[in-house]
Copies of this chain bind each other. A is one copy, B any other.
Amino acid sequence: MPKNQEPVYYGDYLKLDRLLDAQHPHSPKYGDEAHEEMLFIIVHQVYELWFKQVLHELRSIYRLFQQPSLGDSDLYTVSHRLRRVLTIQDLMNDQVAVLETMTPQEFLAFRDYLVPASGFQSIQFKELEIMLGLTRARRIAFDQQSFYNRLHDDDRNYLEQLEQQPSLFDCVDAWLARMPFLEFGEFKFWQHYQAAVNAALDRDEQIIRDNSVDAEQLAQELQGLQANRDNFSAIFDAERYAELQQQGAVRLSQRAMLSALFITQYREEPVFQLAFQTITALAEMDEKLTIWRYKHAMMVQRMLGTKIGTGGSSGHDYLRRTTEQNRVFKDFFAMATYLLPKAALPQLPDSVKRALGFQRD
């Protein structure tokens, strides 16, 4: 105990007087207390506490990424804290089951008293989305209009100012883009790699032709394969890559995409452990957010069917539509398309291995 330290009491430290006096159901103002309103309040308050914690982690990660360079030790901290965020997300996803113990009839007993409040007014959740990189322009059309509606002015101003800053996505892209995996002097890694991927795609084409069950499926599969060929070759062509970006097919910059591919291909090498864990954790964060939105949508549907929510919109439908589009780090997910088995990899020259830390002398 540091000198001059006052003895600490559990309830004071946690500010329980404040925390446990923040639940004020509205139903008693209009009639009998609806027993389940307490559950409704506490479930949402717990979500807000977790949002606060997730923002605490993401802000600290953001600060690390904003440094000119990111050392191994910082990268450990980043990946350690991202894993914490994922653990919290698992809990938040399971928490939907708690609200599902409320029946529709129990909810209807106080729903009308909450009009027009809505979970879409959670500033912390919106801040989380913006910080990740889900900015206005990236949203689905409907969302672009409605995202800033129904908010108090100061809340809206706060969020709009956040939009002006670089997002975590931007930081991650910059970090990947400055990695030295694009040229290795004499060694033409990427030419070899392209050749090996193309050989693999040729083999896939043969499998499709040998096993297709009818002409329609054959055509469809070949078309998919051709898209893979086109996308892959575009990664090496600045102009065509820019087109893919414009179409929204990819979001990472070209250099960042190549680095991410290199890291993913060599994921098993000890030297790439932390970098691979980091990009994987970002993709999983997206995935768990998607699952949260999905579970939330299903819960709302169980509760209200296609009735409207208290904010006057049929939330479940909205949630459904955004479930897929809102991934920020989806490029990391598509990476597997271009991976090769170890046996098919171009052999790295010793000088390159040494430079990349694969070899200790």
Contact = CB atoms under 8 A, between A and B. Distances in A.
A306 B224 contact: yes
A156 interface: no
A306 to B, nearest CB: 5
A170 interface: no
The residue among A44, A211, A306 with the most chain B CB atoms within 10 A of its own CB is A211
Contact of A52 (B20, B118, B213): B20
Contacts of A339: 104-105, 108, 305
A269 B84 contact: no
A48 B114 contact: no
**Chain A's interface: helix, strand, loop or mixed, by majority?**
helix
Contact of A49 (B19, B73, B88, B119): B19
A13 B35 contact: no
A121 interface: yes
A98 B108 contact: no
Contacts of A10: 117-119, 121-122
The residue among A13, A41, A119, A268 with the most chain B CB atoms within 10 A of its own CB is A13
A149 B105 CA distance: 45
Nearest to A10: B121
B94 A98 contact: no
A272 B42 CA distance: 30
Query: Interface residue tally of chain A, by bracket?
Result: 35 or more
Given A103-B268, A105-B339, A116-B8, A42 B48 contact: no
B35 A60 contact: yes
Interface of A: 1-2, 5, 7-11, 13-16, 18-24, 26, 30, 35, 38-39, 41-42, 44-46, 48-50, 52-53, 56, 60, 72-73, 75-76, 80, 83-84, 87-88, 90-91, 94-95, 97-98, 101, 103-105, 108-109, 112-119, 121-124, 145-146, 149-150, 152, 155, 203-204, 206-208, 210-214, 216-217, 221, 224-225, 227-228, 265, 267-270, 273-274, 287, 298, 301-308, 310-314, 317, 333-344
11 contacts: A2-B113, A8-B115, A8-B310, A14-B48, A19-B48, A46-B49, A105-B341, A145-B217, A204-B308, A304-B337, A305-B334
